[in-house]
Structures are given as structure tokens and as C-alpha cells.
Amino acid sequence: MERLQKILAQAGVASRRKCEELIQSGAVTVNGEKVTTLGVKADPAVDAIAVNGKTIRGEKKLYLMLNKSKGVITSANDPQGRKVVTDFLPGIKERVYPVGRLDYDTEGLLILTNDGEFANLLTHPKHHVPKTYHATVKGVPHGTALEQLQKGVKLEDGMTSPAEVEYHDVDTDKNEATIAITIYEGRNRQVRRMFEAVGHKVIRLKRIKFGELGLQQLGRGKFRHLTPQEVEELKAAAFKTHKVHKK
């Protein structure tokens, strides 16, 4: 169940504000009954919703995966006119929004959808859906630093949950190392801050997996639709990790 003006806006009738005006003017009916007050909720999959006598159709649910490039804002729009992730979705007319965030300098796997329940399921703190990154850092973290990350490190907003870490690549000539790190939280710039806490600045950061969903061969700046099986696997991962952490 969602607010009527939100359903109308998602169906492309008009902006949220304009949809509120349509409701108040008496132009909207739900199951044949006129609705004139804001706050009324409906289910577009069940209820017959009409505007000026014309029935609207519930917006088709979309589930997309984008390989976000560095230097792109994780937002549907930007007041400063910078590139945003929705600029990289040619042919997608529905309004979709990112599930969680990747900061401006981070690239990799980003999920976008217009399914609010799905987005909340994947981002709610209680579900602990794992996210895996390749973090290229200055210097080569040794055992003590990796052990700290594995146990959890203290940040200004509290201790992090234990992480899974392992070497992915080491470049001794450049004095750099790429570490695969899996976290179960979604704090702002968390991976960068975790490595800084153990003395290693992140030079490049790329998310390579969300749950068990991986980028595979998806090119940088490209997107594709998730398969129904992938969507169900992501939902299952959220419930599974919730149960594990609840224990």
C-alpha cells in the first residue's frame, strides 16, 4: 500500500505536487469512489485507480545493474549539473533510483529500481546484505592491519562489524596492494575510512559484488536488467543474513 499521489507520480501522470492537486480537485477515483483528501493509500496491483475517468496502470517494476564509472553522482538528478547514474540508462523511461550509494570517486556495481520494498530490503541495517569491494591502497597492509579489519575497527561513528579481507594483488614496484574486502554495513565512505583507520589510504575503490550478484563482464558505464532469478536471490540473501545475525 502506497500513498495515492506517489502511485500517480510513479505511473507518469504528473509530478507529485500536481498529483496532489488532482486528488484535491476530485479528479481521482479508487475503485469507482472519488478521493479528495491526501494521505489515502492504495495498492496499484489490486485497486482500480483512475484520473478523469481514465484508468492508470501500475508502473512496471524494474531491477537494473549499472557498472558505475568514477566521477558520477549516485543520484537521479544533480542541481550542479554533474553526471548522474540515470544518465547512463538509455531507453529507460520509468523513474528508477539507486539502492544505496557509491560515492563520487567509487566505481562498480550499483543496483537501481523503482521497487521501494525491494530497495528497503537490501539497504535496511537489520538485513546485513554483504557487499564486496576491491580496494587499491597505498602501501601493503600486513597481518596486523588485516586482522584489525577482520575484527572491526573503531571509527568516529562507532565500531564496524567484522569484515572479510584477503589479498587480491600486490604491486611492490608501486608500493600498492589491492585488497578484496566484504562488509555487512552501509555507512558513508565506510571502506575508505576503515583502511585509513589502519594506516592505508584508498587510491581506487570498486564494488564488485552485491550479495552474490557480481559485475561479470558488464562494461564500465553500461547497465543491464537483472533476471527474475537474480532478484529472488538478492531477496533471499537479505532474509538469510538477517537470520544469521539475529542468532
Q: What is the dihedral of CA 234, 240, 244, 246, to 10 degrees?
A: 100
- Residue 103 appears among annotated catalytic residues: yes
Instruction: Give phi and psi for 65, each to the nearest 5.
Output: -125, 125
Q: For residue 19, what are the contacts with CB-CB under 8 A and spacing of at least 6?
A: 4, 5, 8, 9, 13
Question: Helix H segments across 129-227?
Answer: 143-151, 190-197
Cell of 137: 591502497
The C-alpha atoms of residue 45 and residue 97 are separated, in whole angstroms, by 21
Active-site residue, from 103, 105, 157, 173: 103
Which amino acids are annotated catalytic? 103
